[in-house]
Every structure is written in C-alpha cells, then in structure tokens.
Structure 1
Amino acid sequence: MSSKDNVVKDLRELYAILGLEQVDAHAGFTVHYLQDTFKQLPFRSQPFRPNYFSFLFIRDAFGQYTIDDLQFEVRPLTVYFTNPGNYRVFEWHAIRDTCLITFDEAFLKEYVHADVFQQFSFLLTETMQPRPLQPYEFDTLEQLYRYIHREQYGNSPYKQKLIGALMASLLLKIKEYFFQDYNPIYEGNRSSEIVKTFKIDLEQHFRDLTAGRTDTPLRVQDYADKQALHVNYLSNVISTKTGKSASTWIAEKTISAARVMLQNPALSVKEITARLGFLEPPHFSNYFKKHTGMSPAAYRKQHPETRS
C-alpha cells in the first residue's frame, strides 16, 4: 500500500490537520469527546502511524478502523485500543457519545506505574479488536473517563497525579474485564510474536538499566540474538510491522527513560549517564539534545515536579 509511505507521524501533526487546537498534544496525555470534534460526517482521516497509545470508549457511535491491512467495525458499547506504530485510518459514520484518551509511554511511567508494561501487559498487544461490554461494565468505565476528563480541564495543582491514579484504575478495570490471563507473546502470527517479544525484551532491558541492574546497552544485534534471528530479518520485521526501525525503537526508549529519570532530583546527570550505558555525561548530553532539542539540564529545569 503506497500510501503507507506518506502518513501523519505524531499526535500534534494529526490534531493540527483536524483543527484540534484546543487539545494540548504536547503533554503526553489528551482526552476529549469526538462528538465535539467531528461535526460533519461521514469523516475519513488521513493515514497515520501514531506515536502514542489510545483508548476509544464508544457509548454511541458507528465507524470503521483500518490497522495495516485489517478492518474493524466500531459500534456502541465497545472499547477500542491501539498502540504506537501501526499504519491506520479511521472513518466515522455517526458519533453521538465517544471519548478518546491518548497517552505516551513517558506519561504512563511517570504517573501510572514505573513498570507499567509488567503490570498491564495487554498494552503490548499489536492489534486488538474492539471489545464489547455489558452496559453495567461500560457504565463503570464511563465514570472513570468522565472523572479523567473533568480533571484534565480543571485547575487542580495535582492534575497529573490525579489523572495518573484514575488511569491506573481505568487500566485495572479493563484488565479485569478482558485481560486477566493475557500473554502478548502468544497472540498473533509469527511476525506479531517477533514484534511483541522485541518490545518485551526492550522494556525489560530498560527496566534493568534504570534500576541499576546493568549498565550495558544492547544493540539491534543483541535483540536479534535473544530470538535466535538474523539481525537483518529482525530489522525487516520490526520496520514492516511498526513503521519504525529497531534502532529508532531503542533510541525512543532511551529518551523516554532519560526523561523520567531527569524528573527525579535524587539522580544526578552523571548517574543517569551511567545507568543508560553512556561512557561520559557529554556523550549522554549530546545524544539527549539531538533527540529532544534541549540539554538534560534545560529539560530538568522545565520539569521540576517529580513523582512522590
């Protein structure tokens, strides 16, 4: 599909195209009601490869999602989840009551749980069909996402922490309803298993790095060795299935971990440098600035609040 080479890459770009200037796509978390956005229906989006997770809570709406080459109908009283990387297009035919929540990995780890993918392994699933709920189950989720929406647009000095606590409750309820016995390794075809295993290995390695259990960075070759695959084959599968190279996944995970640790004043830049496997602080600083546009010290000044 040639259009896959020309897609929206991130939430800010997509929201700008949709004219959603009132939704802050910079903060790593958004929540809004689609009936307030899409006034002229039917609507079909541009193709995009999001760099964020999303939940759609569909109280009353009809439409269709395309993920890679799969199509799913979305109907009332369903929950729909997508994770970063896959090519997708969405269409809406009717929207009366639907809430969209988006969030990135850094937000999850800072405000929900440091080991979020261990606690909520279903977030690693590559392609999830819409999940229908009983009315009482949807009512429970609706109470939570309405609280989240209220806090997001309120003025509490504890806004992010409150939203993080509510998101943890929301994720626990979703896990209770759908994923109590979920194991992402055993879902999907061989290529899907390779992608999921790579993501799990990546997550485990960065948990070890940030916890100080290792200071040895892993290369793409190392991740291929873990699955007994040729490095070119692993690289091709990752790029084809997610739209990003394995090295890009590693770089993004490095920056995500660095951002979280920089918000902890108990960790010096020198210690963060060592934990992430860089030889010297200047190497880490140059790497961080290359990927974020600012130095670690400047980032730390802009993000003084930390998780208690």
Structure 2
Amino acid sequence: MAATETLEDFYKQKFNWLPDNLSQDIGHFNVFRLEDCYAPHAKPIVYTRRDFYKISLVRGKNIVHYADKSIEIDGCTLVFFNPMVPYTFEHSDNIRSGAFCIFRESFFTEMLRRNIHELPMFAPNGTPTYSLNGEQEEYAAQVFEKMLGEINSDYRFKYDLLRNYLTELVHYALKIQPKEILYEHPDANSRITSIFTELLERQFPIETPAQRFNLRSAKDFADRLSVHVNHLNRAIRQTTGKTTTHHITERLASEAKALLKHTNWNVSEISYSLGFEEPAHFNNFFKKQTNITPSSYRAV
C-alpha cells in the first residue's frame, strides 16, 4: 500500500504548485472541476489513504475500490471520501465531468457542533455514495458552481460562505436518502459501541510492515475503555447483534484481504503487521474466514 497522500502531495502531483496558506493550520479548503485535473498521460490514482476529506460530483460509469469491496456507480453520483478509509478510483468510460472539493476536518468542524465522524457518509462502514437524479444533479452542480465562483473572489468572509456550501452538500446528500438515519447514540450501550468502533478503525489501514495491529481481543478494548469485558460484550451484542470478537475478526480479515491485494509484502510481513506471532497462525485464521489460503487469495 502506498504511503498516505498529503495535501502537499496532491497539489504537487495534480498542479505542480502549492497554495500559499497550505502550511497554516486553518482547515484548508479548495474546489476544482474534474475536467481540469485530468492530464492525457496522468498516472493512475493509487490505492492509499489521504490525510484530507474529499467530496466529488462525478458523472458516468466509475468504480470506487475500498479495501476488499468495490462500489460501481453509474450516472451522476456524490461520493464522499474520508482519511480513515484508503481507496482508489477507476473510470469505466471516457466521461470526465464533474467537480470536487477537498478540506481538512478543522475547516468543517469550525463553528459547527456536530462531529464529522457521526455523519453516515464519513462514519466507518457508512454510506459513501449517493446517486442523483436529474433534478438532484442540477442542485448539487449549482452548489459546486457557487463554490468555484467564490473560491477566487476577494470577499473578506468567503471561507465562511464556502463552509456553508460544504455543509449544504452534506445535508443535501442526507436529505435525498430518506432511509438514512442519523445515529444519535440514545443510550450507554450505543455510545460504548461507537467508541469501540472508532478505536477499531483507528488502527487501520496498516501502511508499513513495521506497523502492528495491537488491540486484538475484547479484553484489550475493555481495558482501553475502562469497562469490564462482559459489559463491553453485552453492549456490543445488544447494539449490533454481533459479538465483539466477531467485529474484530471481520475487520482483521478485511484488512488482510486488502494487504494481500494491494501490497507486495510477503505473507510473513502481513502476518506480523496484523499481530500474528507466526505465519502459520495467520494462514489458519485466513483460511477459516475465507476458505482459501492467503497465497491462493493473492493469486486469484
């Protein structure tokens, strides 16, 4: 897996220049037309994690690859990317039309009360893609046009206005998904489950063979949360219907698949990074979860 792409990397690769205020910790924001960012012989987008957020309005047929799953999108779609999830983007046709904005978390959260990770499009295992019909496409495109018009203005408070446009995009995506429910953590069990999920996801992605997955058991998480392991297990089962161990195992298997698919590390290196003391233990774990050996999975 490639190293995390920083905002500096993004600007150097796309435009070969850096904004003057990029080094300032003010919650960077910028917006672009997709067609302005594609060179005829550009390098393909690599599977990696970014250190910034991104919202794209894309048209045509595309595939977004996240770890061991891929999402096919067709037509006009709003796609939300967050720094916790590595991804790569694959175009299935010749359409290069749309727009995107990039920003740091502090830009979004300044003067806002909601934690960005509570929103379904940015939450772990959340909903990152929102298909748009003709009317919805026109609305979202107009919001991006307002961003594009404002970013180069000399209006003193333009970033406050751009923050409003960004928030408008987020809420519009939520509004057009009537089945999507904002989760407000109504009780202690829900809050414990939310914190557990955040701690679990925070350990990923594994980016170097030297990095290790450390919180491997229900007791590890219970100790970190300062609760009894039985209380943690009961809270997670009541909230999700799955055991704590099931969640850990499922996420570990998902990362194993991603490392086998997107890196050239040998099985021993992957085994070590995922916290297994012996490659044989990793082989047994992987085969139990997938009915196939790591080497066979990589060869497929």
For Structure 1 versus Structure 2, the TM-score category normalised by the shorter chain is: 0.5 to 0.7
1:13 aligns with 2:6: no
Q: Which amino acid aligns with 2:138?
A: D
Structure 2: 5+ residue stretches without partners: 186-191, 202-219, 234-243, 260-300
Query: Distance between the aligned counterparts of 2:63 and 2:42, measured in 1?
Result: 11
Match of 1:51 in 2: 51
Match of 2:147 in 1: 148
Residue 170 of structure 1 aligns to a residue whose secondary structure is helix
Residue 124 of structure 1 aligns to a residue whose secondary structure is coil
- C-alpha deviation, 1:194, in angstroms: 6.5
Partners of 1:122 and 1:182 within 8 A in 2 = no
CA 1:30–1:133 in 2, change beyond 3 Å: closer, same or farther? same
Query: Distance between the aligned counterparts of 1:28 and 1:164, measured in 2?
Result: 11
Query: Distance between the aligned counterparts of 2:101 and 2:225, measured in 1?
Result: 32
Structure with bigger gyration radius: 2
Residue 122 of structure 2 aligns to a residue whose secondary structure is helix
Measured against aligned partners, the alpha-carbon deviations of 1:55-113 in whole angstroms (never above 9, x if no partner) come to 1112x3433221112122233211111222222222234233211112221111115x1
- C-alpha deviation, 1:38, in angstroms: 0.4
Residue 149 of structure 1 aligns to a residue whose secondary structure is helix
Match of 2:163 in 1: 164
Which has the larger helix fraction?
A: 1
- C-alpha deviation, 1:136, in angstroms: 0.4
Residue 3 of structure 2 aligns to a residue whose secondary structure is coil
Query: Distance between the aligned counterparts of 1:45 and 1:177, measured in 2?
Result: 29
Partners of 1:65 and 1:88 within 8 A in 2 = yes
Match of 1:275 in 2: none
CA 1:195–1:86 in 2, change beyond 3 Å: closer, same or farther? farther
Residue 144 of structure 1 aligns to a residue whose secondary structure is helix
Give the percent of matched residue pairs that are identical in Structure 1 and Structure 2.
14
5 Å-filtered alignment, 1:109-148, equals 109-111=109-111, 113-117=112-116, 120-126=119-125, 128=127, 130-148=129-147
Query: Distance between the aligned counterparts of 1:67 and 1:131, measured in 2?
Result: 16
Partners of 1:56 and 1:100 within 8 A in 2 = yes
Structure 1: 5+ residue stretches without partners: 187-192, 203-218, 244-308
Partners of 1:35 and 1:95 within 8 A in 2 = no
Q: Which amino acid aligns with 1:142?
A: A
Query: Distance between the aligned counterparts of 2:225 and 2:5, measured in 1?
Result: 25
Partners of 1:7 and 1:48 within 8 A in 2 = yes
Query: Distance between the aligned counterparts of 1:142 and 1:30, measured in 2?
Result: 16
CA 1:175–1:41 in 2, change beyond 3 Å: closer, same or farther? farther
Partners of 2:121 and 2:129 within 8 A in 1 = no
Paired residues in the alignment total 212
Residue 97 of structure 2 aligns to a residue whose secondary structure is strand
- C-alpha deviation, 1:142, in angstroms: 1.3
- C-alpha deviation, 1:32, in angstroms: 0.5
Query: Distance between the aligned counterparts of 2:127 and 2:226, measured in 1?
Result: 25
Match of 2:224 in 1: 222
Partners of 2:29 and 2:104 within 8 A in 1 = yes
- C-alpha deviation, 1:153, in angstroms: 1.9
Partners of 1:33 and 1:98 within 8 A in 2 = yes
5 Å-filtered alignment, 1:80-91, equals 80-91=79-90
Match of 1:73 in 2: 72
Query: Distance between the aligned counterparts of 2:57 and 2:165, measured in 1?
Result: 15
Partners of 1:53 and 1:82 within 8 A in 2 = yes
Partners of 1:54 and 1:81 within 8 A in 2 = yes
Residue 95 of structure 1 aligns to a residue whose secondary structure is coil
Query: Distance between the aligned counterparts of 1:156 and 1:196, measured in 2?
Result: 40
CA 1:18–1:117 in 2, change beyond 3 Å: closer, same or farther? closer
Residue 84 of structure 1 aligns to a residue whose secondary structure is coil
